[in-house]
């Protein structure tokens, strides 16, 4: 006991001395575009990096600043640049992609201090340090113009009819839409300009007749394909994110009427038997939502086995294997239903904490669904739940994480028959708070509960979980399409 008190005291003394050293010397000043910015707590230097209170500085340069208390995250958005840092965390997200930080943000005296050079340079500012006057000299970026769409063209690839829009810079934000009577599919490129004003291309393939494009409003470029069939395009970006591709999959069109849910016309590789199976279990996917990219994540994997289920002290199942099996089923069901779906892992590999949201961000996914099963310290907790977090910027997607969670939870309770634990906001989880798009984590039953475990060891459970997830996702996509 005495020893631990002594260690605690020594620690406190070291912390106090450390703080004194950090704050020693002339106060550090911040200068933005030639003017001194006052902050309520002074900047500090840690390991050669200057940490500054973020809000006053960023807001004075016109950035949007968000603090998410539960996730301990600060997000700054300036023009097309978005930087997100988390307290005491050495991984930042810049435009949705991870970047290492040598000094993480800190909370000192109740204020959030951010590493000024890292954050500002990633917001496209120039940052200098004058050692004589101990001043951080910041030059804010030239006001960013819209991305100029230099050309819009049409081409045929082996697998698709493709519309290509080339920008002079990063394309920031895209929204897809689809309408009926007459059928149209299109995208809005936000914060963009099309100097030609208006144009069109005759395409006349079996999926669409023509492509029209225009400066839709002051900062939106709209591209619309006039469809022959109810087929949604799949939108992707080039690696440098300056070119947008809209692909209309040729395999979708197999002659005759293209419709969903058990009719022919979804490609010859799907047999009629399978078609009928799926249409009996899953709701029909609204064609207008079939271009939305759904990323399915099988939780854990490789050296991270997740929870384990034990009988008489012996491991009978590992969560990572159960998750992967269910995720593969969900993937197959959604693909057969005509959804645009991708798996983040399809094998038993190790993925680090941030690679999952990062991968979903990089591929511009519209929805991220992570497949897990639960466990607790004690054997009592049981049942199923869906975790979600409605983070900053979610409104732009047209559906919230909470809405998606509710669709899935309803199906999960019904299909598995396990106890309903409801949907739960979980802001601290990286898969939920580092992904840009609506995201949920499905937690199946508890491997630590003997009754749940008995159910979870069956083939029927895996299938029921997968059907529930696929059904919930399709209901969410359909609700989305209706907006
Ligand atoms: Zn898990």
H/E element holding 404?
helix 401-416
319 is catalytic: no
Strand pairing report for 192-193 and 147-156: parallel
Choosing from 443, 459, 460, 463, the catalytic residue is 443
Taking the centre of ligand 1 as the mean of its atom positions, its distance from the CA of residue 302, in whole angstroms, is 13
Please tell me the predicted confidence (pLDDT) of residue 113.
Answer: 93
CATH code for residues 21-139: 3.30.457.10
Closest CA to 427 of 114, 96, 69: 69
Please tell me the predicted confidence (pLDDT) of residue 239.
Answer: 87
For 134: left if phi > 0, alpha if psi spans -120 to 50, otherwise beta; the answer is left
Taking the centre of ligand 1 as the mean of its atom positions, its distance from the CA of residue 319, in whole angstroms, is 7
Contacts of 67 (CB under 8 A, 6+ apart): 55, 73, 74, 112
Please tell me the predicted confidence (pLDDT) of residue 269.
Answer: 45
Taking the centre of ligand 1 as the mean of its atom positions, its distance from the CA of residue 305, in whole angstroms, is 9
Taking the centre of ligand 1 as the mean of its atom positions, its distance from the CA of residue 387, in whole angstroms, is 12
Average pLDDT over the chain, rounded to an integer: 89
Task: Give CA–CA dist 351/240, Å, rounded.
Answer: 24
Taking the centre of ligand 1 as the mean of its atom positions, its distance from the CA of residue 351, in whole angstroms, is 13
Please tell me the predicted confidence (pLDDT) of residue 303.
Answer: 97
Please tell me the predicted confidence (pLDDT) of residue 410.
Answer: 98
**Distance from the first to the final alpha carbon of the chain:** 63
Task: Give CA–CA dist 300/302, Å, rounded.
Answer: 7
H/E element holding 64?
strand 64-68
Taking the centre of ligand 1 as the mean of its atom positions, its distance from the CA of residue 364, in whole angstroms, is 24
Task: Give CA–CA dist 433/278, Å, rounded.
Answer: 33
Q: Is 284 helix (H, G, I), strand (E, B) or coil?
A: coil
Taking the centre of ligand 1 as the mean of its atom positions, its distance from the CA of residue 446, in whole angstroms, is 10
Taking the centre of ligand 1 as the mean of its atom positions, its distance from the CA of residue 459, in whole angstroms, is 19
Could you check whether 21-139 and 147-252 share the same CATH topology? no
Q: Is 368 helix (H, G, I), strand (E, B) or coil?
A: strand
Per-residue burial over 78-93, b if 16 or more Cβ lie within 10 Å, else e, is: bbbbbbbbbeeeebbb
CATH T-level assignment (fold) for domain 272-481: Aminopeptidase (3.40.630)
pLDDT digits (tens, 9 = 90+) for 145-185: 899 999 999 999 999 999 999 999 988 788 899 999 999 99
Taking the centre of ligand 1 as the mean of its atom positions, its distance from the CA of residue 367, in whole angstroms, is 19
CA–CA distances in Å: residue 138 to residues 25, 135, 238 = 21, 9, 32
Domain ranges of the chain: 21-139, 147-252, 272-481
Please tell me the predicted confidence (pLDDT) of residue 19.
Answer: 45
Taking the centre of ligand 1 as the mean of its atom positions, its distance from the CA of residue 444, in whole angstroms, is 9
Taking the centre of ligand 1 as the mean of its atom positions, its distance from the CA of residue 384, in whole angstroms, is 13
Q: Which CATH class name applies to 147-252?
A: mainly beta
Per-residue pLDDT of the chain (483 residues; tens, 9 = 90+): 455 555 555 555 444 444 444 445 678 999 999 999 988 888 999 888 999 998 888 998 899 999 999 999 999 999 888 999 999 999 999 989 999 998 999 998 888 999 999 999 999 999 999 999 999 999 998 877 899 999 999 999 999 999 999 999 988 788 899 999 999 999 999 999 999 999 999 998 999 999 999 999 999 999 999 999 999 999 999 988 899 999 999 887 654 444 443 333 343 444 444 444 555 689 999 999 999 999 999 999 999 999 999 999 999 999 999 999 999 999 999 999 999 999 999 999 999 889 999 999 999 999 999 999 999 999 999 999 999 999 988 888 899 999 999 999 999 999 999 999 999 999 999 999 999 999 999 999 999 999 999 999 999 999 999 999 999 999 999 999 988
Task: Give CA–CA dist 340/158, Å, rounded.
Answer: 18
Please tell me the predicted confidence (pLDDT) of residue 270.
Answer: 42
Burial (CB count within 10 angstroms: exposed 0-12, middle 13-18, buried 19+), residue 205: middle
Q: pTM for the complete prediction?
A: 0.85
Taking the centre of ligand 1 as the mean of its atom positions, its distance from the CA of residue 452, in whole angstroms, is 15
């Amino acid at each position: 006991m005495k020893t631990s008190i002594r260690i605690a005291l020594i620690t406190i003394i070291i912390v106090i001395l450390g703080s004194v050293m950090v704050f020693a010397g002339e106060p550090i000043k911040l200068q933005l575009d030639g003017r001194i910015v006052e902050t309520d707590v002074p900047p500090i230097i840690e390991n050669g990096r200057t940490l500054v209170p973020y809000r006053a500085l960023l807001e004075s340069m016109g950035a949007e600043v968000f603090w998410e208390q539960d996730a301990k995250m600060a997000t700054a958005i300036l023009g097309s640049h978005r930087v997100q840092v988390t307290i005491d965390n050495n991984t930042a997200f810049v435009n949705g992609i991870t970047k290492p930080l040598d000094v993480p943000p800190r909370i000192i005296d109740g204020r959030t201090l951010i590493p000024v050079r890292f954050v500002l340079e990633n917001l496209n500012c120039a940052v200098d340090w004058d050692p004589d006057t101990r001043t951080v000299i910041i030059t804010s970026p030239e006001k960013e113009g819209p991305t100029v769409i230099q050309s819009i063209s049409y081409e045929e690839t082996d697998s698709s009819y493709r519309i290509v829009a080339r920008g002079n810079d990063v394309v920031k934000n895209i929204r897809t839409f689809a309408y009926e009577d007459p059928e149209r599919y299109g995208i809005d490129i936000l914060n963009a300009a099309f100097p030609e004003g208006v144009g069109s291309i005759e395409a006349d393939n079996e999926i669409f007749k023509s492509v029209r494009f225009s400066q839709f409003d002051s900062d939106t470029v709209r591209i619309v394909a006039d469809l022959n069939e109810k087929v949604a395009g799949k939108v992707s970006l080039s690696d440098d994110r300056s070119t947008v591709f809209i692909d209309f999959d040729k395999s979708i069109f197999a002659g005759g009427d293209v419709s969903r849910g058990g009719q022919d016309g979804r490609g010859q590789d799907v047999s009629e038997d399978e078609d009928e199976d799926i249409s009996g279990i899953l709701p029909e996917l609204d064609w207008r939502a079939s271009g939305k990219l759904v990323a399915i994540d099988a939780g854990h994997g490789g050296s991270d086995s997740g929870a384990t289920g034990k009988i008489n002290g012996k491991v009978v199942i590992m969560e990572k294997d159960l998750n992967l099996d269910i995720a593969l089923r969900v993937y197959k069901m959604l693909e057969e239903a005509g959804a645009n779906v991708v798996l983040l892992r399809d094998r038993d590999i190790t993925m680090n904490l941030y690679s999952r949201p990062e991968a979903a961000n990089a591929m511009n996914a519209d929805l991220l669904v992570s497949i897990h099963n639960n466990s607790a310290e004690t054997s009592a907790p049981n049942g199923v739940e869906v975790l979600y977090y409605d983070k900053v910027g979610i409104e732009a997607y047209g559906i919230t994480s909470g809405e998606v969670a509710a669709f899935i939870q309803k199906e999960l309770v019904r299909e598995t028959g396990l106890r309903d634990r409801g949907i739960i906001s979980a802001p601290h989880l990286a898969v939920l708070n580092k992904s840009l798009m609506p995201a949920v984590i499905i937690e199946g039953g508890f491997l630590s509960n003997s009754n749940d475990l008995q159910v979870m060891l069956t083939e029927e459970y895996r299938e029921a979980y997968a059907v529930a997830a696929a059904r919930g996702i399709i209901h969410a996509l359909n609700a989305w399409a209706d907006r």
